[in-house]
Chains A and B, each alone.
Chain A
Amino acid sequence: MLRKILLPAIFIILAYGFWVSPDFKEISAGVAIFLFGMLSLEEGFKAFTGGILERILKKTTDKLWKSISFGVVSTTLMQSSSLVSVITISFLSAGLIGLAEGIGIVFGANLGTTTGAWLVAGLGLKVKISAYAMPMLVFGIILVFQKAKTLKGIGYILAGLGFLFLGIHHMKEGFEAFKETINLAEYAVSGFPGLMLFSAIGIFATVVMQSSHATLVLIITALAAGQITYENALALAIGANIGTTITAIIGSLSANVQGKRLAGAHLVFNLTTGLIAIIFIDFFVVSVDYVSASVGIANDDYTLKLAVFHTIFNLVGILVMIPFIGKLVYYLTRFMHEKATKVTQPKYLYGASVDFPDTAVKSVKDETIHVYENTVEIIVHALNFKMKDLRSQDNLETIATKQQKINAYDVDKSYDRKVKGIYSEIISFIARAGFNWKEEQSNTLHWLRDANQHLAESVKAVKHLQKNMNKYIISDNQQIRNEYNQMRIEIMTLLRNMEECRHHCEDESGSKILALDAYKLRVEENDKELSHRLFQHIHQKQITPQMGTSLMNDSGYTTLICRSLLDMASTLFIGDSPEETQAERALALDDNELAAVMED
Chain B
Amino acid sequence: MGLAKILTQLKDLFNEDKVKKKQAETMRALLKKLKNKELKLETQLKKEKNEKTCKQIKRDLQVIRAQQKKGKKILKDAK
State which residues 15-69 of B face A: CB under 8 Å: 22-23, 26-27, 30, 33-34, 36-37, 40, 56, 59-60, 62-64, 66-67
Q: Total number of A-B contacts with CB less than 8 angstroms?
A: 65
- In whole angstroms, how far apart are the Cα atoms of A583 and B31 in the complex? 10
Q: With both chains docked as a complex, state the minimum distance between the C-beta of A88 and any C-beta of chain B, in angstroms.
A: 58
Measured CB to CB, the closest approach of chain B to A593, in angstroms, equals: 6
**CB of A579 closer than 8 Å to a CB of B:** yes
Main SS of chain A's interface residues? helix
Residues of B within 8 A of A508 (CB): 33, 36-37, 40
**Nearest-CB distance from A233 to chain B (Å)?**
79
**Minimum distance in angstroms from B61 CB to a CB of chain A:** 10
| Alpha-carbon distance A522/B62, docked complex (angstroms) | 12
Q: Are B62 and A600 in contact (CB under 8 A)?
A: yes
Q: Tell me if A596 and B37 are in contact (CB < 8 A).
A: no
Chain B, interface residues (CB within 8 Å), range: 20 to 34
Cβ–Cβ < 8 Å partners of A470 in chain B: none
Q: List 18 A-B contacts (CB under 8 A).
A: A508-B33, A509-B34, A514-B34, A514-B64, A514-B67, A518-B60, A522-B56, A579-B22, A580-B26, A582-B26, A583-B23, A586-B74, A587-B30, A587-B71, A588-B67, A589-B66, A593-B70, A597-B62
Asked if A583 meets B26 with Cβ closer than 8 Å, knowing A511-B33, A588-B67, A589-B70, the reply is: yes
**Interface membership of A545, Cβ < 8 A:** no
> Distance (Å) between the CB of B28 and the closest chain A CB?
9
Chain B residues engaging chain A, CB cutoff 8 angstroms:
22-23, 26-27, 30, 33-34, 36-37, 40, 56, 59-60, 62-64, 66-67, 70-71, 74
Known: A517-B63, A521-B63, A589-B70. 18 other contacts (CB 8 A): A509-B33, A509-B64, A510-B33, A514-B30, A514-B64, A518-B60, A518-B63, A525-B59, A579-B23, A583-B23, A583-B27, A583-B30, A587-B70, A589-B63, A589-B67, A596-B66, A597-B59, A597-B62
CA A525 to CA B56, docked complex, whole Å: 11
List chain B residues, Cβ under 8 A from A582: 23, 26
Query: Taking CB as reference atom, which chain B residue is nearest A588?
Result: B67
Q: Within A492-546, which residues are at the interface with B (CB < 8 Å)?
A: 507-511, 514, 517-518, 521-522, 525
